[in-house]
Amino acid sequence: MDKLFGTDGIRGVANHYPLDCETALKAGRAIAAYFDGGNDTADRFLIGQDTRISGNMLASALAAGICSLGKDVYLAGVIPTPGVACLTATDGFSAGIVISASHNPFYDNGFKIFKRDGYKLSDEAERSIEQLIKEDGALLKKSQTVKKVGTIHLVKNALDNYRRFLQNCLFTGPSLGGMKLVIDCSNGAASQIAPMLFEKLNATVKSIFCRPDGININDNCGSQHPGVLAETVMAENADLGLAFDGDADRLIAVDEKGKVLSGDQVMAICAKDMKEKGQLPKPVVVTTVMSNLGLGAALKKLGITHIKADVGDRYVMEEMLKAGAVLGGEDSGHMIFLDHHTTGDGMLAALKLMQAMRASGKTLSELAAVMTVFPQCLINVDVKSKPEINTIDEVMLAIRAVEKELGDKGRVLVRYSGTQPQCRVMVEGPTVQETKFLCQQIASEVGKVLG
């Protein structure tokens, strides 16, 4: 069997291994066994999900596996991924599990797991759980000895509790009065809570893509497709637009002129604001190697050290903890504010961004000028296998040729997706036209060899 865990949990096509009911049940037993607190501990496990049609099916199978080992399950229903992390830590659960495939199409799904402290698992912990899933025989026998199986409960007020947590993250009081915004909830987990949160904070809110039907999640909307959001911001004469992904752990913003801002730009704005307010105990920001070169240049001007981690918010978190940083994230829109939360949170990032706007009295386009974005091209190439990139002669020749062409005017990064059968080819260069041309050269070679 292939490796189950990728860069962000287990992910795949729903109703197919490893996101079939049989494996979900085994995963439930494995999670229950790994987090077993012993006979003297009342083990409780929290499960949340996004709006995919397969969510209830997988939640039922996962819960059955947990209950088969005598542990209790609490269902939070549709709730953002960071909401599960929050409630797991604050309400004393043994672990929290999110059933979601983030920004992927509706037919995909996945499992993300949080420890009792609200942090994601280490690589070692994932390997242990994966081994338990693959060698389920012993746990099956153990479950057959359990006389008092676990029970399943519904969590009351899960969204209200998470909303109050978010409101309490604002330093200067719970009000965004006078601000007009458009929010794109991607027909996902933010569809109910996001309008409620921003309206409670007295903002004027126009909501789009907030009517999930099980199959329209991320369908030409949300953080991956902010075009309609940008048009709506302009039409509504709004101060900004906010786009979340399917499980609302990432944010992409749109300024008042309809221009889309990346996660790097939002982090640059927040880093400047937090430093000016004395909210960066150490002048350090952690991102991944995928971040734009312009972010490093902007942080250097601000007197902030820039640390780069491997791709994946778990690895960003590891470096943040090592460096004592409170701000980190990914250009894709995952942003971690460690002085408030243990994981990336799209709505928290939105609140911090709006707070920076309010404190400065500037428009979002004015604040975005803190960072000059280097031209960047990212091409996702579908692949049938994932051999080590440095072992593929044809691809390495193409990469070296582009690197020689760029010299010190740009860079190349080629890596596999940890959640999809794709190779990501990223090139940054001096002009948009040259960057696209060079990126396509490498992508074409990858497609020939691996597609």
Active site residue 128: no
Q: How far is CA 113 from the centre of its chain?
A: 13
Q: What is the pLDDT of residue 135?
A: 92
Catalytic residue, chosen from 54, 102, 143, 291, is 102
Supply 349's token pair: 């990032």
pTM for the whole structure? 0.89
pLDDT tens-digit readout, 20-41: 999 999 999 999 999 998 765 5
Question: In a 3-state reduction of DSSP, which class is residue 3?
Answer: coil
Candidate CATH numbers 1.10.10.10, 3.30.930.10, 3.40.50.300, 3.30.310.50; the one for domain 376-450:
3.30.310.50
Note whether 5-158 and 178-259 share their fold: yes
pLDDT tens-digit readout, 254-277: 999 999 999 999 999 999 999 999
Which amino acid type is present at position 155?
V
What CA–CA distance (Å, rounded) separates 132 from 190?
33
pLDDT exceeds cutoff 70 at 284: yes
The fold of 262-373 is: Alpha-D-Glucose-1,6-Bisphosphate; Chain A, domain 3 (3.40.120)
What CA–CA distance (Å, rounded) separates 145 from 156?
32
Q: What is the pLDDT of residue 175?
A: 80
- Region 357-383: what's the mean pLDDT? 94
Alpha helices in 206-292 (DSSP H): 227-236, 263-276
pLDDT tens-digit readout, 161-190: 999 999 998 866 668 999 999 999 999 999
Candidate CATH numbers 3.40.120.10, 2.40.50.840, 3.40.980.10, 3.40.50.720; the one for domain 5-158:
3.40.120.10
pLDDT tens-digit readout, 377-434: 999 999 999 999 999 999 999 999 999 999 988 899 999 987 788 999 999 998 999 9
Long-range contacts of 191-199 (CB under 8 A, 24+ apart): 191/51, 191/78, 192/78, 192/159, 193/79, 193/80, 193/83, 193/159, 193/162, 193/163, 193/248, 193/347, 194/242, 194/244, 194/248, 194/347, 196/159, 196/163, 197/163, 197/166, 197/167, 197/347
CATH homologous superfamily, domain 178-259: Alpha-D-Glucose-1,6-Bisphosphate, subunit A, domain 3 (3.40.120.10)
Q: How confident is the model at residue 44 (pLDDT cuts 50, 70, 90)?
A: very high
- Sign of the alpha-carbon dihedral angle for 425, 398, 444, 419: negative
Which amino acid type is present at position 219?
D
Q: What is the pLDDT of residue 240?
A: 98
Q: What are the backbone dihedrals phi and psi of residue 333, each rounded to the nearest 5 degrees, phi first? A: 120, -5
pLDDT tens-digit readout, 239-251: 999 999 999 999 9
The per-residue DSSP string of 55-85 comes to HHHHHHHHHHHHHTTT-EEEEEEE--HHHHH
pLDDT tens-digit readout, 183-227: 999 999 999 999 999 999 999 999 999 999 999 999 999 999 999
Domain ranges of the chain: 5-158, 178-259, 262-373, 376-450
**Rg of the chain (C-alpha set):** 22
Tell me which residue has tokens 């996702």.
Answer: 380
